[in-house]
Every structure is written in structure tokens, then in C-alpha cells.
Amino acid sequence: MARRRSREKQPSREKQLLNEQLKIEEGIFDNRTMLRIGKLFNKGVLASMEFIIARGKEADVYLADAGEKVGSPLLALKVFRLENARFQNRVKYIDGDPRFGKVKGSVFAIVSEWCKKEYGNLLVAEAAGIHAPKPYAFSGNVLAMEFLGEEGKPAMTLREEELEDPEKTLATVLEDTRRLYAHELVHADLSEYNILLVGGEPYMIDFGQAVHIKHPDASRYLERDIFNILHYFEKKYGIEKESSDVLDFITAPA
């Protein structure tokens, strides 16, 4: 006769529901990621997960139903892959940033620090008043933030859309870059791939690599951001601006 399991050893109803929610067609997460997602579930940030909406080199983003602690029905859940060796090359964006110490330890420690960093950078972006997703919470390698899109459909990237008023869009991106810099942050990976269009407005995303302006490479990263954006708008829409003039605009004292 099979031995009946004690109640103490049986998984809670909440855990059973969460396990079922995570059995989506993309596969089941590893145990550590499941625990981190479970924490967000228990804190009332996450109610359930729907489906994957974006795949990246370092993380996947899922559409999720928000919990009672979030003031909107949906959120985006960014799950960083623990097996990704690329994070070893990302340490350069953390080392040298005065807000962080030397990152040591396992890949999980590095990925967790990266997730924490993106959450903190999004808080700075929110304080700066720029167009960027609002951060809700993070746990280990999992980040919960505002969903950018309509009716569960994610917003398109700048590259995927044809702009009606590219001059205005470029002006907004540069103004947001200036505001971000005034709050001592450089995005460091700005391009047409990391800007989403929401209601006609450009929203910056992917803030994990963003650095404090005192980072030794902050100036180089800012110049790269400016080059990438100006190059895209010139090539796509024929808008010409001098990089030096834009740099002066962004870095001028408030």
C-alpha cells in the first residue's frame, strides 16, 4: 500500500497554482528561478503568468497578471537566464560604478546583481521623469516592471515602426537622455532596438547596463548612445544633427 503523504509535506495550493502557471510551452524554470518568482507571487506583485512576449540574449520577458500590490492589471516579468555566460562580460558595467562594489562569486551572484542594478536604474529613470517602464519589484534574477503595450500586445520597437513625426520622436529621446544624465545616469546601450513606441511616445528599455556618470567609461558610453541614435535617424529619416552639439545639449548644467 502506498504511504499517504503528510499534510506538511504536500505543496500549498498557491505553489501548485504557480507550478501550473509556469508550465507554459517554453518550458519549466529551474528551481532557483521558481523560488524567486514565488516570492513575487507571495508579496502580491504577481498573480499569474501568461506567455512570453520577448526573447533576448540574456533574458526573456513574460506577460503576467499583476497582483494586488500593483496598480495595473498587467506587468512584464523579465527573467534573466542563469546559465548565460554572457554575464561574465557584463561585469564591466558594474565594476567602476560607484554605486556597486566588486562583483564576485557564482554566475547566479552576478546575474542577481545585474537584475538589482536594472531595478535601481529604472528607479532613477522614474525619478528623472523620462519615458521608461516603472519598476515594481525584483527577486534574484527576476524583475517585475510596467508592461508597455495595449491589451496584452507588447509595443513595437523604434526599428519596427514607421514614425509620423520623426523629428519630434528624436527630440523626445534626446531630452530624456539629457534628463537621465542630469540624474547622473547614462543608458549605455541606446539604439532603435531598445526603444519602444507607446501611444506614439518613445520609451527607453533595458537599463541593466546603464552606468553612473562617474563610471570610468560613462563618457564613452554616452557618445556611443548619441552616435547610435543620430545614425539611425539620419539613415532612416534623413535627419542630420552634429554629435558634438547633441553632447553639449545633454551634458550642459541644468
User: Annotated catalytic sites, by residue?
Assistant: 189, 206
For 65, 67, 239, 242, the CA distances from 29, given in Å and listed in that order, are: 18, 20, 45, 47
Q: At what angle do helices 218-237 and 166-182 cross, to 10 degrees?
A: 170
Largest CA distance in the chain: 80
Task: Say if CB 210 and CB 177 are below 8 A apart.
Answer: no
Q: Which of 212, 197, 200 is nearest to 156 (CA)?
A: 197
Q: Which DSSP state fits 53?
A: E
Helix (H) or strand (E) holding 127: helix 107-128
Do the Cβ atoms of 173 and 202 come closer than 8 Å?
Answer: yes
DSSP state of 9: G
Give the whole-angstrom CA distance, residue 161 versus residue 72. 26
**Of 97, 83, 111, nearest to 27 (Cα)?**
83
Cell numbers placing 154:
507588447
CB neighbourhood size of 160 (10 A): 11
